[in-house]
Amino acid sequence: MGNPQPAQMDADAFLAWEAEQPEKHEFVAGEVFAMGGASDRHVTISLNVASALREYLRGGPCRTFIADMKLRVEAADAFFYPDVMVTCDPQDRGREQYKQAPLLVVEVLSPSTEAFDRGAKFAAYRSLASLQEYLMIDPASGAVELYRRDPEGHWVLYTHDPRDSMEDTVELRSVGLTLEGGRIFEDAPPDTEPPMSEA
């Protein structure tokens, strides 16, 4: 059993405290939020995306991380656990407890976290100078939304029709990978997919 949460906590205290906890927690400006478990579909999609990125980036300077690695967002005084992130930053290689300079972050949405992922969490992510793309995937509908930072620093939304989720492709320019919908939703088709006809 972990230690009780201190009444007041800064980033360093949070790191020390969470290292002794049996569960994961996110941290925002002194507040701590316990992380719940994820559904089969959620975990499968996260693994599909992470596997595709790891295979593609293997042998290069970039590394792919899944939901057990923290992302520190210093401007928001926060630590998050993105479902998937990619960092190519040399300094991140020396950071054992968290990463700080991703160029791609992926969140697989769930009913309990969707509003936060779209709102306050995305606002915090946008403060990361390194971040080039933010990908959100809705497991239920098959909707895929990609936000990309343009040369002027504006975030541009690229949407993908849920009806074409299995055939569509998502261009991740931050890493140079075109990700096929069939790979994203492999073994985890969205609810919009028609049922397979019996032979």
Distance CA(42)–CA(127), nearest Å, equals: 26
For the cut 80, the answer to whether the pLDDT of residue 6 exceeds it is no
User: What values do phi and psi take at 60, rounded to 5?
Assistant: -100, -170
State pLDDT tens for residues 41-98.
999 999 999 999 999 999 999 999 998 999 999 999 899 999 999 999 999 999 999 9
Q: Do 158 and 173 contact (CB within 8 A), yes or no?
A: no
For the cut 90, the answer to whether the pLDDT of residue 117 exceeds it is no
The pTM for the full model equals 0.86
For the cut 80, the answer to whether the pLDDT of residue 152 exceeds it is yes
Burial 142-164 (b: 16+ CB within 10 A, else e): bbbbbbbbeeeeeeeeeebebee
**Which of 30-34, 96-100, 123-127, 194-198 comes out lowest in average pLDDT?**
194-198
Mean pLDDT of 35-43: 84
Return all residues near 22 (Cβ < 8 A) that are at least 6 apart. Answer: 1, 2
* DSSP letter for each residue of 115-173: HHHHTHHHHHHTT-TT--EEEEE-TTT--EEEEEE-TTS-EEEEEE-GGGTTT-EEEET
Q: Of the spans 129-143, 162-176, 182-196, which averages the highest pLDDT?
A: 129-143
> What domains does the chain contain, in order, with CATH numbers?
1-36 (no CATH), 38-184 (3.90.1570.10)
User: What values do phi and psi take at 180, rounded to 5?
Assistant: -80, 140
Q: What rounded mean pLDDT belongs to the chain?
A: 87
Q: Of the spans 25-29, 117-121, 133-137, 163-167, which averages the highest pLDDT?
A: 133-137
